[in-house]
Structure 1
Amino acid sequence: MSESVVFCQLSRKFVDENDNTPSDAQQVVYYSLAIGHHLGVIDCLKENLVCSYEPYKAWISTLEEGSEARRKMEGVPRYGEIVIDQSHVVLLAKAFDAAKPTQTEQQQEWSQELLDMLQAIQQEPAIYLMVRRRYD
């Protein structure tokens, strides 16, 4: 049995993109959708990045030891899954960007993919990532 770590991103919004709702009101709608599982709304998640488990651990070990970002990412081996939302964007983006010079080419590619996903969260706060350990 092999193990991997899967980064899934909220892929579908339940709000009409052509809707003329004012942006202030839209944030309330997005927040409602973000907590929608309590209201019967189902989130559609799409796999965006898959890493083998041991290479994942090596990748996150490139983050500064003892840092909050590394602690966050170590939640996958520790708890089996983590959620990355808007409150984590700046923290993780700075950490992965700073770690790039010490990373292998593969790790740099993963970092860039993660940075792209973090940018999507920054642009649309309703988006989040679910990062899970998977047993294949």
Structure 2
Amino acid sequence: MPGRVEFYKLCKRFVDEKDVPAEVQQLEYYALAIGHHIGVVDCLASIMAMDKEAYFKWISKLPRGKARSKLEGLARWGELEINKEHVPVLIAALEEANASFLPEEKQWTDCLLRLLYAMEKEPAIYLVVRLSEGASDYCRQRTDGR
């Protein structure tokens, strides 16, 4: 089961100026303020990466529930978004399971917890988690019926 899992954090946003006429410049500020993605480009920065097998071993140590299900969704979808709505359950699950993590898993947990705490203070931040196998492999699997 080769592959890599990579975590990305929203690092900045900008509006594609060619899509926003000058007479609706207020729309630009409104779109940025509420986070709509029409004409808004999100720039993501890689913050953490690990082998796919290590990722699933790590999250298998989380207690069963919403947080674990959320992170296990990566196997099905190949990508997932973590936003402000997911923060409380993820923090609780990571803190509960922290004693069972191996040293490297504790480093990942500490990194993810720092990001989640930052998201509590600034809800516009979000994370994207992706499998390196990408959409083409995912689509091929789905069309093969697997």
Q: Do the structures match in fold with TM over 0.5?
A: yes
Question: Within 2, Cα distance between the matches of 1:127 and 1:82?
Answer: 14
CA contact (8 A) 2:4 2:52 kept: yes
The one-letter amino acid paired with 2:83 is D
State the TM-score, normalized to the length of structure 2: 0.76
2:120 to 119, 122, 125: 122
Runs of 4+ more than 2 Å apart:
26-30
Structure 1 residues 54 and 125: CA distance shift in structure 2, 3 A: same
Q: Which residue of 1 aligns with 2:110?
A: 112
The within-5 A match list for 1:45-60 is: 45-60=44-59
Query: Any unmatched runs of 5+ in structure 2?
Result: 16-28, 135-146
Q: Which residue of 2 aligns with 1:30?
A: 33
The one-letter amino acid paired with 1:109 is Q
CA offset at residue 122 of structure 1?
1.1
Query: Any unmatched runs of 5+ in structure 1?
Result: 16-25
Structure 1 residues 27 and 112: CA distance shift in structure 2, 3 A: farther
CA contact (8 A) 2:7 2:46 kept: yes
Question: Which string of whole-angstrom CA distances, capped at 9 and with x for unpartnered residues, describes residues 90-123 of structure 1?
Answer: 1101100111101101111101100011112111
2:81 to 80, 83, 101: 83
Q: Percent identity?
A: 37
Q: Which residue of 2 aligns with 1:12?
A: 12
Greater relative contact order: 1 or 2 (C-alpha under 8 angstroms, separation 6 or more)? 1
Question: Which string of whole-angstrom CA distances, capped at 9 and with x for unpartnered residues, describes residues 21-61 of structure 1?
Answer: xxxxx998531xx22x22x1100000001011000000000
Question: Within 1, Cα distance between the matches of 2:40 and 2:91?
Answer: 29
Kindly tell me the number of residue pairs found equivalent between the two proteins.
Answer: 121
CA offset at residue 12 of structure 1?
1.1
CA contact (8 A) 2:9 2:44 kept: yes
Q: Which residue of 2 aligns with 1:20?
A: none
2:94 to 93, 96, 105: 96
Question: Within 1, Cα distance between the matches of 2:78 and 2:32?
Answer: 30
State the TM-score, normalized to the length of structure 1: 0.81
Question: Within 1, Cα distance between the matches of 2:31 and 2:133?
Answer: 37
